[in-house]
Amino acid sequence: MSRFKKHRTWPLLLISFSMTFTISLIVFAALKMAPFGSSSILANDSAVQYVDFFTYLKHALMGTAGKAYSFSNSLGGGMYANWTYYLLSPFNLIFVLVSRQAIPVAMLFVTALKYSTAALAAQVLASHRYGKNWYTLVFSVSYGLSGFLIANFLNIMWMDGVILLPLVILGIDRLFEEHRLIPYVVPLSLSFITNYYIGFMVAIFSALYFCWQWAIHHQPQLLRKIALFVGGSLLSGMIGAIVLIPTYLALSASRLSSAGADFTIKPLFSLIDLPSKLIPGSFNFAQLSNGLPNLYMGMIALLGAVFYFLAPAISVRERLISGVMTVILMLSIWLNPLVIMWQGFRAPVWYLYRHSFIVIFWLLLLGLRGLANLPSVSRLRMIIASVVVGGVVFIPTAWRMSSHKYVTLTNLVLGGVLLLVAAILLYSWAHHLFPQKWVVGGLLTLLVLDMGANAYTSLKAISFISKADFTVTSKALNAAYTEAKTLAPNTFYRVNSDTQRSMDDPYQYNFNGISTFSSVLNTSTINALTNVGAIGSAGRVKNNDLTWPLESLLGVRQLLLVNTQSTKTTTPEYQQISSRIIDNPRYDLPAYKLIGHNDYFNIYQNPDALPVATQIYRKVPTQVQANPVLQQNAYFSTFTPETIGAIFTTTDFSGITVDNVKPLTTLTNAIATKKDKKLGATITLNVNPSTEQRYLVMGENMRKNMAISINNVPLKNDPDNGSKTVSLPIDAEKPTTVTLTFNRNVDQIDLDHFALYTLNRQPFEQAVAAAKQHAPKQVVKNGSVTLTTRQNNSGYIMLTIPYEKGWQVDNKQVKIQNYRGFIGLKVPSTSLKFTLSYHTPGIKAGWIVTSLGLIGLIVLAFLEYWPRNGKHAVLVNWPARFRKMWQ
């Protein structure tokens, strides 16, 4: 703090924060985001994940939702990894203070606050190094509105680590200058705690930066500095252990943790495409999915980074070492093994370049030092360097504009003008061509226009959801789920709906559901649900197009369907809600009982819904085919002591006609091939009338390669994994027609698992009745299940709760097993009452290590800051201090 008092740099902190915050709000207002218009800041994952998690945070802190474990997490799951990845930012407390309807607006202001706080942190570092010089604002504002932060407005939880990075680097600087560890340990610990994922990247760069800082100077006491750095890093890890240890154990059960990584030495993009990332406004979602990071940092900072390598005032040794460091970081966004290293040695889903903020920060550091030493660069070097930069950036980009869908002529012209003006102003400042205050004013004005224009043009290309898309749908769904809860008995049950705002609706509306979208979703949940007929993929499972027996098996007691007889069908609210229907028509609806309705929804009750815990008499065979209805057959066959008939049996189609398809001797798992590849092709199937419910099963390949319709009504498709099961109309007189049409450019299709099944009502009802009759008494809460078994029971209980290692039982006679992704219990045949409870794995070890780390931090603070003779003690004096303390 004395440094800031000496240089009176605190006004620059306020200016940096205010400037970034104001630019952010102006850009958001220009894009008409609420509260400045009818749009919102929600897009992609922020619209379908984070807004729901922030609502869940409010439920959890108010005590109305499970904290350690929640049945809103699909069929149920531990919540620790969700907390540590999404919810530990202190900024998130703002969401607790506002209403559900206001959360999108709160997200806008939190995003602006995070941009501004990142700029503030960068200004702290810059002011420490260069006092109150104008170019420190270039560094801080360019960092706060850098391409990474603008592009990742939707990944708001990553920004805390970006904020803390400059403070971590400042801590390393002070370690070298003063031998103090506290300024390094505290921000690094916070980076692990607020978001371990970005914290891991910050820790890697910290090690690289420490090596660079040591290498560019002839540092005395090298071993002492290494020991301090290693010790401080370990202490930071210990303090963050409460996050790191339980999260690591949770991720070991996540499908994403087992995602393979390709360590082949190969570039992930062409180097000729890299210059386009330095053009303002060249960001869109296609860029994220295709790979290249957005490295935009402003033209002034870019030129400063180039001039760094031309400044004679900077030693040749430093420039050479910095060049090596720059090459290493550039390779880390180009070569696949290095990219994977930054992601924790696992290939992430979708966006590979999540560490590009490190590259931006490094280039900004060089730019800051380059601007500080700009007067030493000759006029000729400045002119030549500016021309070369313009050529290297703009010529390849212009040449490949046709392949860069995200780079427009406007972007190119804007970037050229900004670079030209920046070069002229920097040249004028370095060589005093005009009054300095006017040139500096021009540079700061250019900074505002540059970073604001990049933010605006980048975000303008994104499709944001409207404010009404969230507020209207949320209001109607919340009312429907609230009413549904009042109509249900006070026992555990699950709810399903044919309409959803997102897969994370159970979090937002605080009910026990099925669908979930989370980067840390337990693998058991995904496997258990996709095996029996749900659709899912890495990090997600969905609740659409489930069969009536499957909903019964999973304990879905209530079903919400859009009220097609409503008098409000012409209103915008109804249209908004009906546009979110995810199910195909539910022809099995007669099995349910209508128990309530409002203007938008009908609420149905499933009388066949089973309790969570059921007694079973045999295990499901491990070799059951990967066919959802056969899987359901296998589960229902275990509920009765005696063998009963299958609840689903195959049924032949009554007729088949083909158009431009080679003759088929069978349908299931057959290969359908076109006769003439240039023409379209269809398969038309007829199904005789029936009063029994029938389901059509089609495999994943069929859904991807065919358009399928029932009675000329197209089926909704789904790009994720798993077979699809849809109900067919029940009609005693009229046949049903199923039409399969080849997609364009598809010549051959595997009809995997394709078959027609009839639900046999008698064995189904027999299995349901037996399951209910023999089920143990049960009380189910978030994180605990209390069961009372019956005398002479079968000795085995299955719970439709995903298996996780955190479940423990308070009776040694009961053994917990992983039963095909669900919890299985081996129990005595006598009557017994016991409780299963969920305990987050690793939480005790995490607390112990963190407590030791905090004790170490307190001791460290005492040793470093305890006054002695009017001065602060420093780390180098520790041995003498210890001797004095124990004399």
* Secondary structure (3-state) at 401: coil
Which of 62-66, 265-269, 406-410 has the lowest average pLDDT?
265-269
pLDDT band at residue 341 using 50, 70 and 90 as cut-offs: confident
Q: Which residue has better confidence, 325 or 354?
A: 325
What average pLDDT does the segment 759-788 reach? 95
pLDDT at 507: 96
What average pLDDT does the segment 171-196 reach? 95
Give how far the C-alpha of residue 184 lies from the chain's centroid of Cα atoms, to the nearest Å.
28
What average pLDDT does the segment 84-90 reach? 96
What average pLDDT does the segment 809-819 reach? 94
pLDDT band at residue 816 using 50, 70 and 90 as cut-offs: very high
Contact by Cβ (8 Å): 102, 331:
no
Say if residue 601 is in the same domain as residue 659: no
pLDDT band at residue 8 using 50, 70 and 90 as cut-offs: confident
Among residues 711, 739, 759, the one where a domain terminates is 759
Say if residue 690 is in the same domain as residue 779: no
Which of 441-445, 719-723, 746-750, 856-860 has the lowest average pLDDT?
719-723
Output the average pLDDT for the chain: 90
pLDDT at 602: 93
Which of 264-268, 276-280, 325-329, 642-646 has the lowest average pLDDT?
264-268
pLDDT at 261: 62
Say if residue 654 is in the same domain as residue 717: yes
Interstrand relation of 682-687 and 694-698 (parallel, antiparallel or unpaired): unpaired
Among residues 734, 759, 784, the one where a domain terminates is 759
Tokens 């933010």 belong to: 455
Q: Domain residues for 548?
A: 467-609
pLDDT at 272: 83
Tokens of 675: 């006769």
Share of the chain above pLDDT 70, in %: 93
DSSP 229-257: HHHHHHHHHHHTHHHHHHHHHHHTTBGGG
Residue 24 lies in a domain: no
pLDDT band at residue 288 using 50, 70 and 90 as cut-offs: low
Residue 296 lies in a domain: no
Number of domains in the chain: 3
Residue 593 lies in a domain: yes
What average pLDDT does the segment 694-715 reach? 90
What average pLDDT does the segment 205-210 reach? 97
Which of 96-105, 179-188, 272-281 has the lowest average pLDDT?
272-281
Asked if the model's pLDDT at residue 472 lies above 80, the reply is yes
Residue 574 lies in a domain: yes
Report which secondary-structure segment, H or E, holds 413: helix 409-430
Residue 492 lies in a domain: yes
Report which secondary-structure segment, H or E, holds 648: strand 648-651
Nearest CA-CA partner of 687 in 633, 748, 756, 604: 756
Instruction: Tell me which DSSP letter residue 756 carries.
Output: E
Q: Which residue has better confidence, 626 or 512?
A: 512
DSSP 588-604: TGGGSEEEEE-SSEEEE
Q: Which residue has better confidence, 752 or 378?
A: 378
pLDDT band at residue 722 using 50, 70 and 90 as cut-offs: confident
pLDDT band at residue 339 using 50, 70 and 90 as cut-offs: confident
Among residues 701, 724, 759, the one where a domain terminates is 759
Tokens 């009557």 belong to: 831
Say if residue 484 is in the same domain as residue 588: yes
Please give the single-letter amino acid code of residue 194. T
What average pLDDT does the segment 226-250 reach? 95
pLDDT at 293: 66
What average pLDDT does the segment 264-284 reach? 81
% helix, strand, coil for the chain, step of 5: 50, 15, 35
Say if residue 662 is in the same domain as residue 735: yes
Contact by Cβ (8 Å): 521, 77:
yes
Say if residue 584 is in the same domain as residue 701: no
pLDDT tens by residue, 343-387: 877 776 667 788 999 999 999 999 999 999 999 999 999 999 999
pLDDT band at residue 292 using 50, 70 and 90 as cut-offs: low
Residue 435 lies in a domain: no
Q: Which of 268-272, 283-287, 341-345 has the highest mean pLDDT?
A: 341-345
Say if residue 818 is in the same domain as residue 723: no
Q: Which residue has better confidence, 3 or 204?
A: 204
What average pLDDT does the segment 830-846 reach? 96
Q: Which of 229-233, 403-407, 466-470, 712-716 has the highest mean pLDDT?
A: 229-233
Who's near 639: CB < 8 A, 6+ residues apart?
614, 615, 616, 617, 767, 768, 770, 771, 774
Residue 846 lies in a domain: no
pLDDT at 400: 86
Say if residue 658 is in the same domain as residue 747: yes
Say if residue 597 is in the same domain as residue 488: yes
pLDDT at 732: 78
Residue 191 lies in a domain: no
Say if residue 816 is in the same domain as residue 733: no
pLDDT tens by residue, 802-813: 999 999 999 999
Q: Which residue has better confidence, 58 or 864?
A: 58
Asked if the model's pLDDT at residue 4 lies above 50, the reply is no
Say if residue 780 is in the same domain as residue 801: yes
DSSP 547-606: -HHHHHHTTEEEEEEE-TT-TTTTSHHHHHHHTTB-SPP-TTGGGSEEEEE-SSEEEEE-
pLDDT at 2: 43
Instruction: Compute the chain's Rg from CA coordinates.
Output: 31
pLDDT at 882: 44
Domain of 755, CATH number, reads 2.60.120
Q: How many CA atoms lie within 13 A of 636 on its CB side?
A: 33
Residues in the chain, total: 887
Say if residue 755 is in the same domain as residue 773: no
pLDDT at 260: 55
CB atoms closer than 10 angstroms to residue 669: 12
